[in-house]
Amino acid sequence: MFIWQVATLSPQVGIKFSIPTQFNPKSRPPRRMAYRSSICRKRRLLKIFGSQLKSWEIEQTHMRFLDSFKRTPTLRLKALRESPGLTQEIIDNPQKSIGPIEKGFDAFEEMRHRFLSFKKDKYLENLEHYQTLARGQAPKFMVIACADSRVCPSSILGFQPGEAFVVRNVANLVPPHENGPTETNAALEFAVNSLEVENILVVGHSCCGGIHALMSMQDEMSSSSSFIKSWVVVGKAARLRTIAAVSDLNLDQQCRHCEKESINRSLLNLLTYPWIEDRVEKGMLSLHGGYYDFADCTFEKWTLDCKGCRPKVAGEYSIKNREFWS
């Protein structure tokens, strides 16, 4: 004899399914038992964090889960044993249920689910590794990337926890040593002197708003009350070099050129820090540039040839080991 209680699987999309609260292992439900779903069968698109999910695709996934649930006794028994968990919580506290996505999307509720998924699928599956990280870090890379939300180094390049020490700022700029303290060179000092990273990677990207602001400035850049303008002026050398090289191109094309040029200027600025220059000369540290084009998902990587650089003379540089990943 089956007694069914209704439980919500995913409040955001309004999926509902039935879980037995009483189960007799010797009996089975009718072979063609119908499972109810509250999903609307209209093929409307549900927008969740910028992605689009078709409701009929969600329903297919939902039904595959139910079919697996029906055919696997261990799942049913596990659900029965753990009834004080998710199922019982929903039964006891129905007022906490979240309505369909049309009535409002709770970003933090989604974030909570993502965290719990991370804990279950990654943290607990690699518990020994994460416990080792809790005792200390020894990354091989320091990454300086843009703060742009579309450019996450860990997602793009697959860095796992403990592999890269990352600092992000507007336009992925590295100020020269003489500019004084900033959060970027504070992070550099820690990464190079304390963590002793072996590689510094400066990652720029397409359609960079910070570079566009830099290229839109007037030649005579007076003091500004704008924090953005006061910061991106760090890239003035890249701007001037870009104008000298491609002044005949339109602004968008100039920006694309400057996006790469600013990476190389930042690599040269790294050599103005004595403790970075010292480790580079000893072969203990390498400086790399990277450019991510998210319009066509390509990545260009290169290494600064420090032996061919004369930044203190005329800002000259050469690069090597250029690669294009597509």
Concatenate the DSSP letters of all residues of 158-227 into one string. -PPTTSEEEEEEGGG----GGG---HHHHHHHIIIIIS--SEEEEEEETT-HHHHHHHTS-SS----S-H
Pick from 271, 256, 266, 268: nearest CA to 316:
268
Pick from 89, 98, 79, 135: nearest CA to 11:
98
Q: Using only C-alpha atoms, what is the Rg of the chain? A: 27
Q: How many CB atoms lie within 10 A of CB 213?
A: 19
**Residue 322 φ/ψ, nearest 5 degrees:** -75, 135
Length of the chain: 326
Residue 214 and residue 261: Cα distance in Å, rounded?
Answer: 12
Positions at the binding site: 146, 148, 205, 208
Positions at the binding site for Zn(2+): 146, 148, 205, 208
Residue 82 and residue 75: Cα distance in Å, rounded?
Answer: 10
**Residue 291 φ/ψ, nearest 5 degrees:** -135, 120
- Residue 199 CA neighbour count, 13 Å, CB half: 16
Beta strands in 39-103 (DSSP E): 45-48, 51-54
